Amino acid sequence: MKTESNQIPSKDLLIEEEKQEKTDLEIKQEVKPKPKQRLMSLDVLRGLTMVGMILVDDMGDYSALIWPLRESDWDGITTADCIFPSFIFVMGLAIPLALKQ
């Protein structure tokens, strides 16, 4: 309040200050950050990669292993061989999106 030391602030001055405080609060409430949007396809690919990592790392007994998780001969590729490259691909997509925000 801008009053002299011996004066009591006027009622009009108090009302104006209350209005100013309300408008400051309204401005603060109006400025809300937008919620971060996530790329659903990237999240799905990340989830599938994590499930694949768990399957490949915890295969259990080799005699009861399903065919996509078996190791290939010298010159072949299996599903298990694609897990790490897909993880690197997901990370390569996620880094520029994170840096953009």
Total-model pTM = 0.56
Angle, to 10 degrees, between the axis of helix 40-57 and the axis of helix 83-100?
150
101 residues of the chain, pLDDT tens digit each: 455 555 665 666 666 666 666 555 565 665 666 777 888 999 999 999 999 888 887 777 777 777 777 777 777 777 778 888 999 999 999 999 888 86
Task: Answer whether 13's CB lies under 8 Å from 65's CB.
Answer: no
DSSP label at residue 69: G
Q: Are 75 and 66 in contact (CB under 8 A)?
A: no
State which residues form the domain around 70: 40-100
Q: How many CB atoms lie within 10 A of CB 29?
A: 8
- Please count the structural domains in the chain: 1
Per the domain annotation, does 76 fall within a domain? yes
Q: Let me know if residue 11 belongs to a domain.
A: no
- Length of the chain equals 101
| Residue 32 placed within a domain | no
Measured CA to CA, the distance from residue 77 to residue 2 in angstroms comes to 80
Q: Does residue 15 sit within a domain? A: no
Determine, yes or no, domain membership for 26: no
